[in-house]
Amino acid sequence: MKNRLRKGISVLAASALTAVSFSSVMPANAASSSDSFPFVIEGENMEGASLWTQNYGPNPEGYSGEGFNYLTNDTASFTVNVPEDGMYTITVRAAQVLDKGGRVETVKVNGNKTSLNMPYSEEWMDLSFGNFRLKKGENLIEFPSEYGYMAIDKVTVDVAPKHDYSLATDVLSDKNATPETKALMSYLKSVYGSHIIAGQQEIYGGGHKNNYEWENEFLKNLTGEVPAIRGVDFMNYNPLYGWDDGTTERCIEWATKRNGIVTASWHINIPKDFDNYTLGEPVGWQECTYKNYQSGQGSLSFDTRNVVVKGTKEYDYFQLAMEDLAEQLLRLQEAGVPVIWRPLHEAQGNEGNYSDGTAWFWWGDRGAETYKEIWKLLYTTLTEKYGLHNLIWEYNSYDYSNSATWYPGDEYVDIVAYDKYNVEYNRGDGKSSGPNLLAIPAKFDSLYRLTNGKKMVAMAENDTIPALDNLLVEDAGWLYFCPWYDGGEDGGTAFLGENYQDYDELKKIYQSDYCITLDELPLDLYSTKEPVVIPDAPEIASIDYSEKYHQVRFTWKPVDGATNYGIAVYLAGKWRIQTQSIAASATTYTTPKNLTPGKTYKVAIAAKVNGQLTAEQAIKHAVTITVK
């Protein structure tokens, strides 16, 4: 049965080349299996490798071993044996002197491929391919020559360090944030890295025959639980075809009546024919778009660069759009409802994967610098002009080599997020269809590194919800997940359907202690009171037995500020406080005589500090004893 967390969580291409100069060509020996880490193999000793001492072009000096392997036409590989499933780093000491613009290099781990761009380097450099999950036993590591021409001196496999989730701050970028917003941010920080919060995007625009609870009802029927986070979109509040679809009212009801959390995006529309648009005039939704100008669906006459230039039509339009938006967000603020606010999302889009290299949406179609200026304009306008202080600003990032150049800055961002869609492309799991249960730890690592761990990392949109086992083993501590809405009988993209979700895994994660659902959010989630800090319990330092009298004496480490102590014993399936009258100066307690010999008890020491009893914390330090 799933434990309730409310008690425990408070607000708390090159063409092929031939060798120019090398000492000799010899068959490589396969690396012997090893469970000693760091595991290091010389490049020339990999299976399929050759021994080189002279590189094409500038020759890196100071190689280890007898030389190095030059990755040309053959795949180089080795196996490594690990004791348990876990995360490991793969680092290559390498050089690349063929392409000054960088060259794509690839590693395959048990058949799954990862590629990155290796910069030009005439000297040996440590190139990290990232963290990978290795299974217990033998694992095959391969370096295929897809683009190749990388000199490999040696490869190191090591245990990946765990993320330090305590580095993430709960201090909001907005120094004037409302008490409710601070309380929510504090709660998010308290569960980050130890739990994942369940979320779900609602359909909008009257889908599901105006049943905006369709997704929640579906999940309740399937898993027995309702997600804690409701995802909404304020796209329909705009100066063009704008209409009130009840989004604001649903947000208020969700937070104030159902004690849930709200996250919101903003697909802000612009007129397709912007040249002939008159500010303030209504425009049918069919004549509006949020796509980029080069996609064929966007507005060729709307210049995104002008959004931040006063006196331009684009600037004036964006001001109107922010005014409409602020009206709704102010209603939420007045109702005491904070929002995980994700505007201008997916700005970098699928950069590098389209032939024209453009982003998906108009707010990203003029590059990183323009985008950051728009973000800052939105931030300062909402907070300073409209006095909106109920927003937790969430920035959507990617993990391309230049993604960091899009980041608006720590002073404008509270949470960083990634949108996971890897069922239909870029799967990485070796399958061609069906749900993709990967926890995508490499994506998490990238966003974690973006702020050196200082900001919490969320999965703001996704298709398949990752499998519980993957999340735990791969140390991918996403703050929350939030599948996009299901089109259901009204059409659309069915991200809750079996093509995207493994229902057994979906039920498993929803019903796990790791996942926080709606009924597990603390009742004081939005409390404006300072949280009560309950002190930790004392730890038992020693246990002594009296075999003559069948007694047990406990000695514990004292706790600062304790007014008295109590003994907690687990009997008949229940924790009981045996006594609360032990003096604060005491550090020992002896049980009554004649406890049952051979019987096993669980025992803990509780303390009372500032009127707060540490009984629940004491259980964490409980010890099991068998009476002699």
CATH placement of domain 540-626: 2.60.40.10
Does this model's pTM top 0.75? My answer is yes
Confidence of residue 27 (pLDDT cuts 50, 70, 90): very low
CB 215 within 8 A of CB 230: no
Count Cα atoms within 13 angstroms, Cβ side, for 493: 14
> How many whole angstroms separate alpha carbon 344 and alpha carbon 176?
22
Contacts of 221 (CB under 8 A, 6+ apart): none
The pLDDT value recorded for residue 386 is: 96
CATH placement of domain 39-159: 2.60.120.260
Q: Taking CA 49 as the corner, what is the angle to CA 43 and CA 51, rounded to the nearest 5 degrees?
A: 70
155-159, 262-266, 356-360: which range is least confident on average? 356-360
> How many whole angstroms separate alpha carbon 288 and alpha carbon 286?
6
Residue with tokens 């899009």: 406
402-434 pLDDT, tens digit each: 899 999 999 999 999 999 999 988 888 888 899
Residue length, the chain? 628
The pLDDT value recorded for residue 480 is: 98
> How many whole angstroms separate alpha carbon 306 and alpha carbon 288?
18
64-78 pLDDT, tens digit each: 999 999 998 889 999
Beta strands in 297-444 (DSSP E): 339-343, 391-396, 415-420
Say if residue 120 is exposed, middle or buried (CB neighbours under 10 Å; 0-12, 13-18, 19+): middle
86-137 pLDDT, tens digit each: 999 999 999 999 898 899 999 999 998 888 889 999 999 999 998 999 999 9
The pLDDT value recorded for residue 541 is: 80
Give the start-to-end residue ranges of the domains of the chain: 39-159, 171-520, 540-626
Q: What is the β-pairing status of strands 261-266 and 339-343?
A: parallel
> How many whole angstroms separate alpha carbon 499 and alpha carbon 424?
10
Count Cα atoms within 13 angstroms, Cβ side, for 506: 28
477-502 pLDDT, tens digit each: 999 999 998 765 544 457 888 899 99
Return the CATH architecture of domain 171-520. Alpha-Beta Barrel (3.20)
The pLDDT value recorded for residue 553 is: 80
Confidence of residue 578 (pLDDT cuts 50, 70, 90): low
The pLDDT value recorded for residue 285 is: 87
